[in-house]
Amino acid sequence: KEILDVAVEQIGEKHVTAIQADAGKLDDIDRVMKVIEKEKGQLHIVFANAGILGFAPLGSIPETLFDDIFDINVKGVLFTVQKALPILVDGGSVILNGSIWGSKGTPGASVYSATKAALRSFARCWTVDLKDRKIRVNCLSPGGIDTPMLRTAG
């Protein structure tokens, strides 16, 4: 919550609303969309930036690691975008935050990498699904960005 408060202060309260939520929980996503609709009425851009990282080589991937990463990185993104559609304007944009790891092999990162490859596939399919509404869908695939998540990953 403190990080959100700092962001609001830096950006300016007039331009942003901070809403703490867990992208892996559909009830949280519903709550976020209700707040946005009430406060802003509509969206022009959805930037789906949900993601957690975890490492394990193929022979030792626990089910909990798989479920946790897929719940946030894939399920969270899919349902965030789906639940935003009623308030996303025709001609709007959906931007998915993938990763270069969705295209290259990284030791111990097969689960994370698979989730980021899934986002590229979502973008291709949703472009066709949403063409009648003229909604653009793109997937960014940046390399490593200095974030707390990447720093703790080593």
Kindly indicate the confidence band of residue 28, based on its pLDDT and cuts at 50, 70 and 90: very high
Torsions phi, psi for 54 (to 5 deg): -160, 150
Q: Band the pLDDT of 13: cuts 50, 70, 90.
A: confident
DSSP 76-110: IHHHHHHHHGGGEEEEEEEEEE--GGGTS--TT-H
Q: Which of 122, 121, 103, 123 is nearest to 113 (CA)?
A: 103
Nearest to 3 by CA among 152, 44, 16, 63: 16
Secondary structure of the chain: what % helix, strand, coil (to 5)?
Answer: 55, 15, 30
Sheet holding 43-48, edge to edge: 43-48, 88-97, 136-140
Q: Return the domain boundaries, the chain.
A: 21-153
pLDDT, tens digit (0-9, with 9 covering 90-100), for 81-132: 999 999 999 999 999 999 988 888 899 999 999 999 999 999 999 999 999 9
Q: Identify whether the C-beta of residue 120 lies closer than 8 Å to the C-beta of residue 98.
A: yes
CATH class of segment(s) 21-153: alpha beta
Residues with active-site annotation = 112
Alpha-carbon distances of 54 from 49, 74, 81, 120, 150, rounded to whole Å = 16, 14, 24, 20, 10
